[in-house]
Amino acid sequence: MALSEHPRSEWNDLWLLLEIVHEGKQPQVLGENITSDVTHSKDELHQGYRNRFLATPWDAHYRPALEHPKPKVLGSQTAIVTGPAGEETHCDEYGRVKVQFHWDRDGQGNDTSSCWLRVATGWAGNAYGGIAIPRVGMEVLVSATGMKTSSTTRRFASAMNGMTRSKPTCSASSRWKSIASPIWTARPKRGRMIT
């Protein structure tokens, strides 16, 4: 913005506008009475238009603050578990899965659809607990804690609370283990359950 005819001649130059605030009031349009009450603050606008702006000299180096608000999620959302074409399950060493949210129009519905999301389990501890990896194509409920999209709720197998094995096989099986019992594994095989 070029400023001209300012009483301080050194200000008549190019300026970079950083912020503009417009304010207008026309009470007669709303049927309000126009008053000349001088008891109000001088900064209060009774009628008319004004604006305020924040600017920096054009030649000054300006870098906007890199403050980007993190997206927030309210409540839970449903999504579809994704993975490479032809695979029944897809997870990493912590049993986390990837999903495609219903609102995501750009996602490809494959193993690159999202970041890894932890799978909630009703029982997880250090070298005991149970896990059931959701299959590719299953609809799951994705929750967030503290409205952050990068975390989910309930208990999880993680680096601190290890799995019942060192790494899930991501097969069509489910496993449970307590501190006092051996690992119990259930996996389907041609129409029957093997335990």
Is residue 190 domain-resident? no
Whole-number Å distance between alpha carbons of 174 and 184: 8
**Are residues 44 and 90 located together in one domain of the fold?**
no
Whole-number Å distance between alpha carbons of 78 and 97: 14
Give the chain's length. Answer: 195
Find the range with the poorest average confidence among 28-32, 66-70, 140-144, 165-169.
165-169
**Are residues 96 and 143 located together in one domain of the fold?**
yes
**Are residues 126 and 95 located together in one domain of the fold?**
yes
**Are residues 133 and 49 located together in one domain of the fold?**
no
Long-range CB contacts for residues 9-12, cutoff 8 Å, separation at least 24:
none
Whole-number Å distance between alpha carbons of 57 and 47: 32
DSSP string, 92-124: -TT--BEEEETT-SS--SSTTSS--BPPPBS-E
Whole-number Å distance between alpha carbons of 140 and 80: 6
Closest Cα to residue 134, out of 85, 167, 101, 96?
A: 96
**Is the overall model pTM greater than 0.75, yes or no?**
no
Find the range with the poorest average confidence among 9-13, 26-30, 105-109, 145-149.
145-149
CATH code at position 114: 2.40.50.230
Residue percentage of the chain with pLDDT more than 90: 8
Whole-number Å distance between alpha carbons of 175 and 4: 76
**Are residues 33 and 101 located together in one domain of the fold?**
no
Give pLDDT, residue 155: 41
**Are residues 19 and 106 located together in one domain of the fold?**
no
**Are residues 105 and 145 located together in one domain of the fold?**
yes
Boundaries of domain holding 106:
71-170
Q: How far apart are the first and last CA of the chain?
A: 76
Q: Environment class of residue 157 by beta-carbon count within 10 Å: exposed (0-12), middle (13-18) or buried (19+)?
A: buried
Structure-block tokens of residue 105: 């129009």
Q: Count of alpha carbons within 13 Å of 111, Cβ hemisphere only?
A: 11
pLDDT tens across 134-178, in order? 888 888 888 877 655 554 434 445 554 455 555 555 566 677 666
Is residue 40 domain-resident? yes
**Are residues 36 and 121 located together in one domain of the fold?**
no
Whole-number Å distance between alpha carbons of 142 and 152: 7
**Are residues 82 and 50 located together in one domain of the fold?**
no
**Are residues 143 and 92 located together in one domain of the fold?**
yes
Domain count, the chain: 2
